[in-house]
Amino acid sequence: MTTALPRTDVAPVASAKRRRRAPGWLAVLPLLVFTAVAFGLPALAILDGAFTTKDATTGATSYTGANMTASLHGAYLTALLGSVKLSAISAVLGALFGLPLAQAVASSRSRALREAVLTASGVLANFGGVPLAFAFVATLGNAGVLTLHLGLKDSGWDLYSFWGLVLVYLYFLIPLMVLTITPALDGLRVQWREAALNNGATGTQYWRHVALPVLAPSLLGGFVLLFGSAFAAYATAAAMVGSAVPLVTLQIADALSGNVLVGQENVALALSLDMVLVAGLVMAVYLPLQRRSARWLDA
Amino acid sequence: MARRLTPWRWAVLGLAALYFLVPLAASVIFTVDDPGGISFDAYTKILSTGGFVSSLLLSLELAVATIVVVLLLMVPAVVALRLGAPRLRPVVEVVCSLPLVVPPIAFVAGIVTVLKWGPDHLSRTPLFQTFVAIQNPNFPVVLVLAYVVMALPFVYRALDAGLRAIDVRTLVEAARSCGASWPKALLRAVLPNLRGALLNASFLTLALVLGEFTVAQLLGYQPFAVWIYNVGSDQAQMSVAVSVLSLLVTWALLLALAGVGGGRNRTAPSRG
């Protein structure tokens, strides 16, 4: 819906300014029309469906908040909270483990190591979905190589659980953190450290009072990005745990595949809207943070 | 200073290597492990398994179509932002960030609903034929539409970074004053300078489409990722073998890209 509005607002202004030369907005127009159709229509459908209920007997539709209310109760609420909890924990751990790894790379003088780790991070951050789930099932699943050789089963290990999912998610979240935070670490100038040390600060004090405050926006931005990434993930969880762990993405997929009561399709749309709201919140936090950290890095 | 940190750094790198390499190594062991010793059956059987070739071909076709469409839409737009319509920059930026706000699963829920409008409301109009055509199982155009939308943020970022490195206006003016027409100036002067960014954008889109599972599965199509998932239920070894191979292919592609284009923008597309 928002995609369609700017086109009508801005186009006349631009055309008035650029009447004589090849009008620039003409080149942008196909993109705007395309997104208005391919993105705008589904977005409208979510919004419309989330607030529509169909009367089972008469078939008449009406606008209500019933779906949204339903999506925030019972099993749906459990799934939503489960997703938030899983994403938050994985994102915190991903940020905590990603930072030292990125620092080890950024402070290294070896160009080869740096290139290797960054390239590997690029690949692994993309290595999500079904293949990742299967790789972990082969490693730590019930018949996994490590499970059998180390006898993990007797010690109560279960990959198809909440913490199993966290372990798997970290496999693409840590590389994502490394990619996000390395430019910020590169922006920490040696002079700042030298200045701090010359003034009598210890290494810890330097990190506490100089480096971390400068890094804070990037760190928080990285955390938020990781959260959004984990929150939206569906394929890994679907291939690994089925529905053993309640997650909002799995609930939506269930409802869409007709695995639940008839008439619940619109609850799936309401859940989708919940997800969009959370993801929107994530972006609203992330973008200003990114701009803030860019100020330090470009200076 | 760096010298004093060395043991600490090796510990961190070692732990990371352990965490990231063990699942890969274990996966390879898993695929060749056989009661009678070592067997490469899981790999040799892949080609002859039903659906492998057709699903891989479908994924590649979808990837090519998505790359062509997204570049045709984005390249003129981002070049125009530099040349003639800088005021539209915020609009394009917002449009290209919106897909990040709608997770793939929510996006596909919206698409399913829109596709239902076809039989429900439009069955007597010519639009209905369009709805049928874009859902053709041999080549589902609706997936291309969805993937183009999902690729927009990454393609925009890659192209914008590429354009920032060159002075488009000067290039075009130089070409124009040497007598080149507008299309020729763009094709012969601007695009060659954008080669790295174009490759980058294409790779990110390729990786996105090859790995995409959510939208395709819920719309009922079977490209590569969905095929791996379906095979996994009864042929565990082979599905892991294909997963390992797909990682190796992605790695090779990215290394090739890093060699050709400098590989600057590595941010991952969402994995659905």
The predicted structure's pLDDT at residue A260: 56
In chain A, positions 113-172, which contact chain B (CB-CB < 8 Å)?
113, 115, 117-132, 134-140, 143-146, 170-172
Q: Which tens digits make up the pLDDT trace of B238-250?
A: 888 988 888 888 7
From B103's Cα to the closest Cα of chain A, the distance in A is: 5
Angstrom distance (rounded) from CA A103 to CA B238 = 38
Option in B2, B111, B250 nearest A107 (CB): B2
Q: Does A277 touch chain B (CB under 8 A)?
A: no
Task: Provide the residue ranges of all domains of chain B, joining segments of one domain with +.
Answer: 67-221
Lowest-confidence region among A20-24, A219-223, A252-256, B163-167: A20-24
Chain B CB contacts of A144 below 8 Å: 26, 30
For B67-221, CATH gives 1.10.3720.10
Q: Which tens digits make up the pLDDT trace of B118-159?
A: 777 777 777 777 787 788 878 899 999 999 999 998 899 889
From B110's Cα to the closest Cα of chain A, the distance in A is: 4
What does each C-alpha distance from B121 to A51, B118, B124 come to in angstroms?
A: 19, 6, 8
Angstrom distance (rounded) from CA B104 to CA A249 = 9
Option in B72, B80, B267 nearest A24 (CB): B80
Phi, psi (rounded to 5 degrees) for B37:
130, -130
From B14's Cα to the closest Cα of chain A, the distance in A is: 10
Is there a domain that residue A168 lies in? Answer: yes
The predicted structure's pLDDT at residue A19: 41
Is there a domain that residue A69 lies in? Answer: no
Number of domains in chain A: 1
Q: Which residues pair with B38 in a beta bridge?
A: B33
Could you list the residue range(s) of the whole structural domain that residue A83 is in?
75-295
Q: Which tens digits make up the pLDDT trace of A17-28?
A: 444 455 677 888
- What ipTM goes with this model? 0.83
Give Rg (Cα) of chain A.
24
Is there a domain that residue A247 lies in? Answer: yes
Angstrom distance (rounded) from CA A110 to CA A118 = 13
Question: DSSP letter at A153?
Answer: G
Q: What is the band of A97 on the pLDDT scale with cuts at 50, 70, 90? A: very high
Asked if the Cβ–Cβ distance from B88 to A131 is below 8 Å, we say no
Query: What is the 3-state composition of chain A as percent helix, strand, coil, each rounded to the nearest 5?
Result: 80, 0, 20
What does each C-alpha distance from A140 to A90, A123, A135, B38 come to in angstroms?
A: 18, 22, 9, 20
Is there a domain that residue A52 lies in? Answer: no
Q: Does B38 touch chain A (CB under 8 A)?
A: no
Mention every residue, 6+ apart, whose C-beta is less than 8 A from residue B262.
Answer: B196
In chain B, positions 113-132, which contact chain A (CB-CB < 8 Å)?
113-114, 117
Q: Does B252 touch chain A (CB under 8 A)?
A: no
Give the containing element (helix H, strand E) for B33. Answer: strand B33-34
Phi, psi (rounded to 5 degrees) for B268:
-80, 140
Cβ-contact B61, B143 below 8 angstroms: no
| Domain CATH for A205 | 1.10.3720.10
